[in-house]
Amino acid sequence: MLSFLTTLKWTRILSLVTLSSALVLTTACGTKVTRVDSDTVTDLSGNWNDTDSQLVSREMIDDVLSRPWVSQFKRSHNRAPTVIVGEVRNLSHEHINTRTFISDLERELINSGEIEFVASATERGALREERKDQDLNARESTRSAMGNEIGADFMLQGSINTIVDVLKDEQARFYQIDLTLIDMESNRKVWIGQKKIKKTIEKGSWRL
Amino acid sequence: MADSMSLNLLSRILLLQLVLFSLLLQGCATMAQKTANMRNQLASGNYQSALADAKQALQNNPDGVMENMNLGLLYRLSQNYEASNQALEKAKQVIEKLYATSVSEQTGALLLNDELISYQGDRYEQVLIHFYMALNYLELNQLDAARVELLQSQVKLNEWSEPKDDVPVMRYFSGILFEILGEPDAATVSYRKAVDAYKNTQYRHGLSVPLQLKKDLLRSLSAMGMTDELAIYKKQFNLPVPSASLFKTNAELILIIEKGLTPQREQIVFQTWSNELSSVIRVAVPGYPHPSPVLRPSRVQLADNVYTTEMASNIDGMARSSLNENISAITARAIARAVVKKQSERAMAEKSGSLGQIALMAFNMGSEIADTRCWNTLPQQIEIMRVPLEPGKHMLKLQPYPSTGLAASIEIDVKPGERVIVNRRWTSSAGASQYENGRGHINIIPLFPLRIYR
């Protein structure tokens, strides 16, 4: 090791030093932004991303709508079922923004036209405030009356879990997303959906 | 004549080049010197001015792991938990990027000094990021996010899969939190791993398995009905099995006290003989020249009962043993570097005379500094205590340094089954904790939702 180093001439060392300082100066400049379609798969770190969220919500909703509970409910009640999205717990090892996942779910469900949807607990709070305000300030013909809310028939709940197997540079990540649709009146589970995603991630051991 | 003129010119150009490059290095003070003021402010309890220093340091190096870790801890002390998590998360992400070894940095380290290698923290420091982020998320009322941090620390420890790199306090804390989360199985696993971790790493921190942890493991094994394992540990610990029902009906106080300051890595310069050069060379390496003070456990008074805390983490010992493990590689690199530098000085003397040699010597002397970077805002030790509480109001009196008059009184109000986490940091017996008296605790109802009030 030492003998290798001693063969380096000082000129070479100096030019290396200059080169490296030049590198330090040049690497800092320029951010490059490229726009991509929101359906493009962009796997950067291997973490849960928008692609996973969209994939899961789409498949889950396809599944939930193809099951008999919708038609059974329509037959017995003569109307479309009303659903509310409850909590989707993040039990994974990543900080996943479950809100974007929930809004993906809501969008797919509403746009299907098969079911009615009611606002979530936090949204309801704001709406009630507004109605109170209308009661005081809005013209009577335009007021939205209180006490006319539609109660939900079902609640959608779920969780995101992960199993990570890791050794040195290699990682296998297994995501399991569980969703359950529960009858609000009877606590009966009418549908259970499950989606699994598996990824392997390899980290490089050298960089420039 | 003309020949010596051109040589003179050459040496002048070289001199200019060297001066320019030294400017790039932003002076050659060691990191210990650069952060000394921040540490002094922190030690005397001036958290705001320490925070200002840390912000300044981050401006100079926004992607610095050490800068972000320090900023994160200081934001915590200012009770800005969101900003703290942001900084710590940034540190975490940069560490992930730095996973691969950089060829150019390693080469640079051989030519200039070890600070050219991007700092990614020692392994115990990387795990403690998750510890503090979990505590921050508890403060922010995000129990599931705190759980994410526990899992991430597990992934990290599994990735290394080296028993010596385990961080027992992280395992123990995970057990406590899993219990709060209503996952007794995960809690039992964590307590068991914590016991193993204390044993496997004892040479690093000198701690044996805390008595409270032993009780916690026995209690959860018994609650899980794992009788075979319970019998083994009962015999091993020589303890009776604590009653599990006590924790179900009563409330519980979980006390996490952080004390002191982790030791600062400092530069140690020594001279050694190089056979290759037949000359004396000057070498600078990091070290911990001073022993840390011994901090006695804290005294806790609750109604008429007096308790003492147990040390759950000796960060001081972790820091010292971590450097010990690396010091031979660091020293080898420093010696190799000293040889290269001496060689270049001699070559300079041959080619461009004494002026060039002196210039290069000055540059080499200035650029040769030890890598004293470390997460130097960490405490010296972490203490944990758990006590069952009757529901109702309690007055808690803490004396972190029992031999001094320093004390904090905290009034807590608990409902049946609730857990109260009191987490305080004192940086010295002269400083105040980060909260004023009577503030600063988290009330948690196990199995969510989480309730916090101040």
Nearest to B207 by CA among B344, B312, B86, B122: B312
pLDDT tens, B62-98? 999 999 999 999 999 888 999 999 999 999 999 988 8
Instruction: Note the pLDDT of residue B379.
Output: 95
Does residue A28 surpass a pLDDT of 50?
Answer: no
The C-alpha of B61 sits at a distance from chain A's nearest C-alpha, in angstroms, of: 12
Of the two residues A10 and B107, the one the predictor is more confident about is B107
pLDDT tens-place string over residues B206-241: 999 999 999 999 999 998 889 999 999 999 999 998
What is the three-state SS of A113-146? CCCEECCCHHHHHHHHHHHHHHHHHCCHHHCCCC
**pTM, rounded to two decimals:** 0.84
Average pLDDT over residues B166-175: 97
Note whether A21 contacts B21, CB cutoff 8 Å: yes
How much of chain A exceeds pLDDT 70, in percent?
85
Using one digit for the tens of pLDDT, what is the confidence trace for B259-271? Answer: 999 999 999 998 8
Tens of pLDDT, residue by residue over B271-311, are 888 888 888 888 899 999 999 999 999 999 998 899 999 99
CB contact under 8 A, A95 and B145: yes
Q: Which residue of B has its CA nearest to A8?
A: B340
Does A44 lie at the interface with B, CB-CB under 8 angstroms? no
Residues of chain B contacting residue A24, judged by C-beta atoms under 8 Å apart:
24
CB contact under 8 A, A166 and B24: no
Residue B275, chain A, CB below 8 Å: the answer is no
Q: What's the gap in Å between the CA of B19 and the closest CA on chain A?
A: 12
Buried b (16+ CB within 10 A) or exposed e, A187-207: eeebbebebebeeeeeeeeee
pLDDT of residue B119: 93
Distance of alpha carbon B136 from the chain centroid: 16
The mean of the pLDDT values for chain A is: 81
Confidence at A37, pLDDT banded by 50, 70, 90: confident
pLDDT at residue A6, rounded to an integer? 46
In B84-154 the beta strands, taken as DSSP E runs, fall at: 101-102
| Residue given tokens 């997303």 in the structure block | A177
Residue B40 sits at the chain A interface (C-beta within 8 Å): no
The answer to whether B423 and B159 have CB atoms below 8 angstroms apart is: no
pLDDT band at B248 (very low <50, low <70, confident <90, very high): low
Question: Are residues B17 and A94, on separate chains, in Cβ contact within 8 Å?
Answer: no
Chain segment A135-159, per-residue pLDDT in tens? 889 998 888 888 888 888 999 999 9
The pLDDT assigned to B183 comes to 87
The ipTM, to two decimals, is 0.76
Confidence label for A175 from pLDDT (cuts 50, 70 and 90): very high
Q: What is the pLDDT of residues B375-400, one digit of tens each?
A: 999 999 999 999 988 888 999 999 99
Instruction: Please report the pLDDT score of residue A186 as a whole number.
Output: 92
Considering chain B, what is the average pLDDT of its residues? Answer: 86
Contact B152 A10 (CB under 8 A): no
Which of A29-38, B157-166, B170-179 is predicted with the least confidence, judged by mean pLDDT? Answer: A29-38
Q: Give the pLDDT confidence score for residue A7 in this predicted structure.
A: 45
List pLDDT tens digits, range B317-335: 999 999 999 999 999 999 9
CB contact under 8 A, A167 and B14: no
Nearest CA distance, B415 vs chain A (angstrom): 25
Judge: B340–A13 Cβ closer than 8 Å, yes or no. yes
Chain A residues 158-197 within an 8 A CB cutoff of chain B: 162, 164-168, 171
**B15, closest residue in chain A (CA to CA):** A14
With CB atoms and an 8 Å threshold, state whether A90 touches B148: yes
Q: CB distance B155–A2 less than 8 Å?
A: no
Whether residue B108 is predicted with pLDDT greater than 60 in this model: the reply is yes
**Contacts within 8 Å (CB) and 24+ apart, B321-325:** B321/B203, B321/B204, B321/B205, B322/B122, B322/B123, B322/B124, B322/B204, B323/B265, B323/B286, B323/B287, B323/B288
The phi and psi torsions of A75 (rounded to 5 degrees) equal -65, -45
Q: What is the pLDDT of residue B448?
A: 35
* pLDDT top residue among B394 and B449: B394
pLDDT value of position B433? 61
Which pair of structure tokens corresponds to residue B277?
A: 């050069």
Q: Which residues of chain B neighbour A10 with C-beta distances below 8 Å?
A: 343-344, 347-348, 351, 360
Neighbours of B73 (CB within 10 A): 27
Q: Which amino acid is at A137?
A: N
> Average pLDDT for residues B25-46, to the nearest whole number?
83
Q: Is the pLDDT of residue B18 over 70?
A: no
Nearest to B302 by CA among B258, B259, B241, B254: B254
